[in-house]
Every structure is written in C-alpha cells, then in structure tokens.
Structure 1
Amino acid sequence: MDGGDGGKAVDPRVHSRHSQHSHEPGSADSRALGRLGYAQELVRRMGGFSSFAVSFSIISVLTGCITAYSDAIGPGGPAALGIGWPLVSVGTMLVALAMAELASAFPTAGALYHWSALLGGPGWGWLTASMNLVGQIAIVAAIDFGCASELAATLGLSSTASFWLLAAILTSHAVVNAASVRIVAWLNDFSATVHILGVVLIVGALLLFGRAQPLPFLFETGFTTRADGSLGLGFLNGLVLSMFTFTGYDASAHLAEETHDPARRTPWGILTSVGVSAVAGYLLLTSITLAIRDLPAIASDKHAALLVMRSALGDGFGRLAMGLALAAMWFCGLSSVTSASRTLYAFSRDKGLPGSRFVSRVNPVARTPIVAIGVATVGPLLLVLGTAPFSDSLFDAMAKMATMGLYVSYAVPILLGAVARHRRQWLTRGPFSLGRFGLPVAWAAVTWGGIVLIVCSLPPNQLPAGMLAFALLVLATIYFTFVRHRFEGPKVKLATLEAERHGDTRE
C-alpha cells in the first residue's frame, strides 16, 4: 500500500461548510473537527455514558456468552471459560488502550479508516475501511439473523419465518437510526442498563439457587469433545467465544463526531466498555459453569447455557433468560448498524466507495447519514438471503471470517501508529495518552491481534481463515487495479496536523 504524508492543504470549502454549524453548543468540537478537514455535518447528542453504552451494547455479553456458550464448553471444557475469558480480556484491553490513544488524537467518524490513512497513507486507509465494513456488515447479519432465528423458535414459527423476522428487525434498526441520534443514544443507554441488570439477575439466581460445582471446577482442563481428544487444541478452540464476543468496542470511536468532547470521552467509552464487559462476562460465565450438573450432556447441546439455566432454575427462568438474550441481540444489532453506517459515511465523504456522493448524504432535518444507514441494513439482509438458505455452515463460516476481518482492521492502524511513532512522524497525542508506555502497549496489541487470528484459524476453522485470506487478496487486487490512482484519502495529512499542533503537549 502506498504511504506518505503529503502536506495537502485543508479544502477551504470544508471551513465554509463548517462555519454554518458554528452556532452549535459543541462549536469547540466542531472547530477541532474542522482542523482535521471535515465539516460538522452530524449532530452532537452523545455524552460520556452514551459513548460507553454503544460499545458495551455491541460487545453484548448477554448475547455472546449465552448463545455461543456451547462453542466454548464443548471443545475446551470449563477451563476455556474460567481461564480463557480472563486471558482474552487482558489481550483485548491492550488493543482497547492502543485504540483509545488513537481515538483521542484523531476523533473522527470512521475512526479506524481515518487513523490508517493518516498514519500509513490512503492505501492502508482503504484496506482498513474495506475490511472493517466487510466485518461490520457480516456481524450485523449474524446478530440480527440469530435474533430472528431464536425469536422464531421461541414463538414456535417455521424456519422460513426467520427471514421475514430478519427483515422486520433490520427495518426497525434502520428507522430508529435514521430518525435521530438522540433516540439511538437513549436506547443504547437503556440497553446498557438492561445488560447490567440482566447479568446481575442471572448471576445472582444461579449462584444462590443453582450452584452445583465447587470453585475449582471452573479451572478443569481435562475435558474436551474434540474427536481427536486434543486438550490443547480444545482449549484454544474454546477461546473463540471470548475473542468473538470482544468485538465492536470501536463503535465509540466511530461516533466521535456525534459525541461532546470526543478527544476525552471517546477513549473512556472504549476502555470502560471493555472493562465492564470483562467483569460482567466473567461473572456470567462463572455462574453458568458452576451450575453444570452433567458436563458431557451440556457440552453436547447446541443451546448449552439455556439448558444449564433451565436445569438449575426451571423452564420459566430459562424463558426469562432467553427473553433477555433476545432483547440484548436487538440492541446489539441496533448499535452495530449505527457503527457500520458511520464507517460508510466517513469512507464515502473521502470518495472511497462507488456512489460516494450519494452514500455520504446527511439528512438535513435529522442530521443522520440516512443513505449509509440504508446500506448498513440492506447489505446484511442480502448477505443472509444469499447464504443462509443454502448452507448454515457457509453462513457461519462467513460470520467467523468477518469477525477475524474486524481484528485485521483493529491491528492495522495500531501497527501503523507504532511505526509512525518509531519514525517520529506522529509526535502529538490527544488528551488521553499512555506516554512512554504507548509504544510498547501498541506493539503488544498488534501481537495480540496476530494471536487472535492464529487461534481463530486452527482446526476446525480452516474455512473462515481461507476465506479471510481470499478476501484480503481480492481487496488488494481491487485497490492496485482500480483504486490506487483515484483515491486520495483524508483531506488533511499527518505532516500538516503535526505542523499545526507543534505547540501541543508531546511525549
């Protein structure tokens, strides 16, 4: 990918459009955005809690830990959860710390794309945005189709009804997102409350009335359902639940242009969402695991977590837990559409997509990127209709491949930031800075991203890994064949920003 940080001047039209919105309460934030080369087109309605809530809702421990519990307890046994979740939490926090520092320095919509383009050049920005969009569209598809399928099963409907329910769920997400970012922020705040109360309810009930195992059971390493009996590979397979659950915390950064004081609040939104999810998720997994009475039977069931809760607390509680999981999935899908639409909007305003002028349009009344929201909901619907009716395994592989793609889009800007620091091209930090620890944390985060990709590629996940490699090859071919000489990336380059910020605090 091509690099360089040419000193292209800020487009004067950006400042002209920006001045039209200088009357807003967040005018200081608007001026800061203007220095990055963009007009304040979106409206700032989100505070610090909302920044946390949007990422917390996408991580959604109620969704990941309950619906994918069988993916961990089967191959890895209790240790994949008792030991695996804390291990993955530490690695994820390294990525979150490095990401938070970038978000503080460059608080823009489309975050990951913008960081890569500034720090490594337009080619790296284009690749990052493309991989992130592939991941986000597929994740929305997986979340909402999972919600639709579980809802159909709960209501006793046929599998065909899942597709109609999916269309209805995606439509609801599109309508809410298009109507107002204030409504989205309020719903995300409510979602965070639902998640926390749901975890407290389930954990409290299971520990008080359903506990069947002593605490050491949580660290049992001698169990696996793998046909080859490999305990080591089984444990690593079990980590995939934790790794797949810990995605989406970049949403706080994608909504930076709709957050007040984003250089300070966005980093803490990222970090607190990961930290609270780590604690809440571990409590949830611990309470479910210690309530297991028959490990072989639970490990072989596709809905293992719900089976544990029904066995421990009765069918009524199992239905309540499923209701909470369904609500969590709906909120998770809503926030995921919000995040994906902002990436589409930011990438399009820099002319990174076909029909960019159309996709980057902002509704003048609601001040939301209405076309990007439409793409972020129609795309997942088409993906499901094109894969799920023919093969569940193909759709599952695509969802896993997309999740791995998200980790690629996380690691690339962090890697580029570390290289830029080493070369002393990026010297000026934002209000949130790790100081002298920033560079080692960045390298550790990149290393963790590589570990995630390796673990997620181990048997039986060779197909998603191969699909990811193929997707990267296709994107690279498209870039070098059609995009390289047309796409310029952000309007302002890193060298220009460093020259303008020479009076700011530096390491």
Structure 2
Amino acid sequence: MADAAPTGTSPEGGDAAPQQRMARELGWYASFSVAFGFVSIATGIFTAYGSVLSTSGPRGIWAWPITVIGQLSIALVFGALAARIPISGYSYQWVSRIVGPVWGWIMGWISFAFLGVVLVAVDYTIASTILPELFQYVGTVQNAWVITAVVVLLQALLVASSTRTTHRVNNVAVTVQLIGMIALTVLLFAVGAATGKLDFGHLFDTATVPAHGYYALGGATHAGPFALAFLLGAFTIVGFESAANLAEETKDPARVIPKAMVQAVISLGVLGFLFLIAVTAAAGRIHGVGESATPVATVITGVLGSVVGKILLVLVVISIFSCGLVITLSGTRLVYAMSRDERFPGWSLLRRIHGRTQTPLNASVFMLLIAQIILAVFSRSTDALFELFSAGTLLPALIYAGTVAMYVAKRRSLPASQGFSLGRWETPVLIVATVWLAYELLIFRDASFRAPWIYVLVLFAIGAAYFAGLLARRGRAGLTMPDMADVDRALDDAGTTTAQPAEGTAR
C-alpha cells in the first residue's frame, strides 16, 4: 500500500487529514473477474427464472437478447466514464465531480442501497433454491434466513481479511463458473437431444399465460406479460460497473476497466442465452417444472440425473458465493470512498485502512451489519426472493438512468480520455441506452412491485434525513469535491498519460 499523503483541504476549510491509498495490483483478469462475478448468470437465472415462467411463460426468454443489447449500451457509457475518472466510487464519484456533490451524494446513496439489497438477494438464492434441491430437504423461511446470514458473514470475513485473497478466491470461482456453465449448457443440449428431452417448440409457448395481449404494453398499474420478462436480464446483467469501483487498485484502469466491463457483458449475454434455450427446451418434457420452486435445478436433475446434476449444482453454489463476494467487496469500496470524502454516516471510522490487512476493515463490518438488517426485514416474508429480486432490479435501473442522463448533459465538458472512447458511436449508444432505460423503468409501474418501491422510498427517506443534517452542518460549499487534478494523479499513478480537464469541467 502506498504511503499516506495529504491531499487538498478538508470540507471544514483546514488542512486535510492524510489520506491512505490501497495498493494498485489488479490486472485485466482480476478486473474482468470482478465484473463477471458480480453479473453471474448462474445467480440471476437461478433466482429469477421461476418468476419469468409464472408471469411470461417460456416465451419470455426472448426478452433476454434485447436486454443484453440495452445493458451493453450502458456498459459502454460507463466505460467512457471510467476511462476519464478512474476513482473508487464509480457513479458517486462521476456525478459528484461532473454535476455536483449534492447529486453525487444522492447517486452514492442509491448505489449503497442497491448493493445492500442485491447482496441479500444473491445469498438468499443459495439458501432458498439451490441447497434444498441439492440436499433434498424442505426449505422454509427460517432455515433460509439462518443459512443466508452465515453466507453473508463468511463473505464479509474474507473481504475484510485480505483483498489479494478475496481476488484469488474470486478468480478461481469465476473460472469454475465459466467452465461449469459452458459444460452445463453443452451437457443439457447433448444429453437432452440423445434422450429426447428437448422440445424446441416449447421456446415459443406461453404455457399458463394467455397468448392474447401477450405483447401489449399494459395499463397504468400493470405491465404486459412480455414486458415483465425483461426483468430476468435486467436483474442478471447488472454489476458490471463493479470493476470501475476498484479503479484505484487496478493497473492502467483507463484502458483495462472499460474493456473488462464490455467483455463481461457480451460473454455473459451469449452464454446466458444459450443456457436459457437449453433449460427452456428441456423444461417442456420434464415433469413438475411448472410447480417447482427451483425450476432450473429441477430441469438439470431431470435431464442429467441426480449425481451429475448435484455436482453441477455445487458449481452453481460456488458461482453464487463468488457473486456475493464481489458485491460485498464493491459495497465496502463504495462506503470507503464516500467516507473518505466525509459524506457517509460514521465516515471517521469507515474511511480507515487497517494497518495489517490493508483493507477498509470497518467498512467491511458495516456492510455485514447492513446486509443482516436487510435480511431481517425480509425474513418473515413468504415471497422474500421475489421482493429482493425486484428491488435488486429497480435500484440499478435508477443508478444507470441517472448516470446516463448526466453523461448526455455533460459529455462535452468531460476530461479527455487516454484509454477508451465511444467516438462516432457515442450518439447511437446514448440513444439505445436512453430508450432502454425509459422502457425498463416503466415496467416498475406494475402493482406487483409495491414492496420494492416501499423499500426504496424508506431508504431514500433515511438518506435524505442524514443529508439534510450534513447540509445544515457544513452548507453546500462544504461539500465541494476534490479538484479534478486528483483524476490526473490517478491516471499518472496508473502509468498512463495525464489527461487535462476540459473547459468548464465541474469541480
């Protein structure tokens, strides 16, 4: 870890306290693994596939490739920003420095809320859908709560103990996931074809969902069946920006991070769609899939047999654990970044780097406590997985929409990039991203998303109360972000050519 060095002035007007820096030791594969591990198609599909079957039928999987295109356009915009402002905190840092600290803080708080709820959603998937099928026991709200709490604790301990070890574990887990998902998809196609258990006509079936009005947009308080199917991809293909949250620990971040994010979205999009086709084609000839609480696990066991099926389910558990690990890591870095700027509750404790572990230990413990609180809130709900999945889809949509809107408004005044640029594709990419995000957010008018909206509004109220106190104590002028020269310093530390701020860049 680099020696602590004073930078700038404090919001109170005096000299700033020395700021600590974490070691810059991550390469391309580590960055790719973070993006790939957070997205985790195994996690997203195992979590949300049952909801798609019930709301949209098997035909709903055709919303996936459209969603991938929409999310890829967002990844490209995020890549352009990461190449210009390679600092931990991603959207919080970008919006704070380009638009202003008030909007930046709002974006940071939404990001924090998302990471807290999606961590619980991911780990709850292990307890509620995979382990009951793997060990053949009856899953209940009580045992799912206990198992999830233990998994969250293990991930927090690993993140707090060592960043290097965390990345080694994640790199191995991502490699296992990549090999395992490819093997699983190939085996489903091969064994399913050999045993006559593939029905490709099932891919276009609506099952119990009425075919009439299937593609309708819906009304004021409900979305159409096909529209609801987009949530599978929207829940799964998120978190690629977590690579940008580790920018200060990545070598040559302006070049490495955009590449890692885009490659993660493309590879996961293609592999995920092939897996969905294999599972859905087989689901038409496997008894009990429609009634199963774990339809993907039921299909795998039905096609490949119990022994092979359970081996592959173990690989899925590893993949999901890796996803939760990356989310914990990303949440810890966001809390640390906001605390370093004295913007987060308890910032004086949460911005500290532990001398022995060289990790933001206090921030790791804080994320653990937040996850346990969120888990307790949802622990008595019989529909906890759907509510967590819905909130974990709504929040990133809000983050992406706010960040893309900022890019559209301020792209002419951004600092120059030395690593990645959209070039002549900027306008088409922004059009696709804007249309996609507007459509996605409209889906959440459906009455079934009432609980996630309540969760979001409660968290917003808590954040608003704290931020009002922050403004009262310091005033707006006291929230000025560090000068854009810090961005140049970050690029210099990464070994790239210094990028000069453009005219009119916000400070």
TM range (shorter): 0.7 to 0.9
Mapped contact 2:300–2:309 kept (Cα < 8 A): yes
Mapped contact 1:224–1:234 kept (Cα < 8 A): no
Pairing partner for 1:372 from 363, 372, 386:
363
Relative to the length of structure 1, the TM-score reads: 0.84
1:207 and 2:189 are equivalent in the alignment: yes
Distance 1:179 1:157 in 2: 34
Name the counterpart of 1:73: 53
1:50 and 2:30 are equivalent in the alignment: yes
Unaligned runs of 5+ in 1: 1-10, 17-36
Distance 2:304 2:384 in 1: 35
Distance 2:226 2:112 in 1: 30
Mapped contact 2:49–2:296 kept (Cα < 8 A): yes
Aligned in 2, Cα 1:456/1:301: closer, same or farther, shift over 3 Å? farther
1:315 and 2:306 are equivalent in the alignment: yes
How far did residue 436 of structure 1 move? 3.2
Aligned in 2, Cα 1:446/1:293: closer, same or farther, shift over 3 Å? closer
Aligned in 2, Cα 1:463/1:265: closer, same or farther, shift over 3 Å? same
Mapped contact 1:45–1:181 kept (Cα < 8 A): no
The 5-angstrom pairing of residues 144-155 of structure 1 reads 144-150=123-129, 153=132, 154-155=134-135
Mapped contact 1:15–1:39 kept (Cα < 8 A): no
Distance 1:494 1:363 in 2: 27
Pairing partner for 2:410 from 420, 424, 430:
420
One-letter identity of the residue aligned with 1:55: A
Pairing partner for 2:281 from 290, 307, 314:
290
Aligned in 2, Cα 1:318/1:229: closer, same or farther, shift over 3 Å? farther
Mapped contact 2:173–2:322 kept (Cα < 8 A): yes
- Aligned alpha-carbon RMSD (Å): 3.1
Distance 1:374 1:448 in 2: 36
1:385 and 2:376 are equivalent in the alignment: yes
Cα displacement string for residues 158-182 of structure 1 (whole angstroms, at most 9, x for unaligned residues): 7434333333322221221122211
How far did residue 359 of structure 1 move? 0.5
Q: Percent identity?
A: 24
More off after superposition, 474-483 vs 89-98? 474-483
The 5-angstrom pairing of residues 330-409 of structure 1 reads 330-388=321-379, 390-393=380-383, 396-409=386-399
Relative to the length of structure 2, the TM-score reads: 0.84
Aligned in 2, Cα 1:70/1:134: closer, same or farther, shift over 3 Å? same
How far did residue 460 of structure 1 move? 2.8
Aligned in 2, Cα 1:140/1:131: closer, same or farther, shift over 3 Å? same
Distance 1:372 1:350 in 2: 14
One-letter identity of the residue aligned with 2:371: P
How far did residue 427 of structure 1 move? 5.0
Aligned in 2, Cα 1:502/1:68: closer, same or farther, shift over 3 Å? closer
Aligned in 2, Cα 1:76/1:494: closer, same or farther, shift over 3 Å? farther
1:184 and 2:184 are equivalent in the alignment: no
Unaligned runs of 5+ in 2: 10-16, 216-223, 490-497
The 5-angstrom pairing of residues 93-492 of structure 1 reads 93-150=72-129, 153=132, 154-155=134-135, 156=137, 159=140, 160-211=142-193, 212-213=197-198, 215=200, 217-218=202-203, 220=204, 222-226=205-209, 230-232=213-215, 233-294=224-285, 297-388=288-379, 390-393=380-383, 396-421=386-411, 424-426=412-414, 428-465=416-453, 467-468=455-456, 471-472=459-460, 475-476=463-464, 479-480=467-468, 482-483=470-471, 485=475, 488-492=479-483
